[in-house]
Structure 1
Amino acid sequence: MIIIPMKEGENIERALKKFKRKFEKTGVIKELRERKVYVKPSIKKRKAKIHAIYVEQMQLNED
């Protein structure tokens, strides 16, 4: 459960922004989207490997 402490006279919109930020950081929506479709472990590994190669190439291009 997410608790947002509010100060006296604090704007409700500001509190909503804090709530939204905390909610996004928990990753609930991301996890729900991932659980909608089953992805085989072999495909996960393949995507992770492709991403690692991409990141490595980006780092080499910076140098």
Structure 2
Amino acid sequence: MLIIEVKPGENIDRALKKFKNKVRKVKQVQQLRENQHFTKKSVARREEIGKAKYIQHLKDTLQD
């Protein structure tokens, strides 16, 4: 549960912005989407390795 403290006289838009930032930092929405279906550990690991290869490829091409 996320708790956002709103100071007296603080604008509601400011409080909403704080809430959105906190949700993003906690990765709450991302966790909900990941938990909608089960992913085998081997598949998750394969995706993780593929992502690492892609990022490494991008770094290599930027250095050249």
* Band the TM-score falls in, shorter-chain normalisation: 0.7 to 0.9
The one-letter code of the counterpart of 1:13 is D
Separation of aligned partners in 2, 1:24 and 1:40? 26
Query: Offset at 1:45?
Result: 1.2
Structure 1 equivalent of residue 13 of structure 2: 13
Cα shift at 1:58: 0.5
Aligned residues: percent identity?
Answer: 40
Name 2:60's counterpart in structure 1: 60
Bigger Cα displacement from structure 2, 53-62 vs 23-32: 23-32
Mapped partners of 1:38, 1:2: distance in 2: 26
CA distance in 2, matches of 1:10, 1:25: 22
Shift of 1:6: 2.9
Per the TM alignment, residue 33 of structure 1 is displaced from its structure 2 partner at its CA by 0.9
Q: Please give the secondary structure, in 1, of the residue aligned with 2:4.
A: coil
Moved over 4 A (4+): none
Give TM-score, length-normalised by structure 2: 0.82
Mark the runs of 5 or more structure 1 residues left unpaired by the alignment: none
The count of aligned residue pairs is 63
- Length-normalised TM-score, structure 1: 0.83
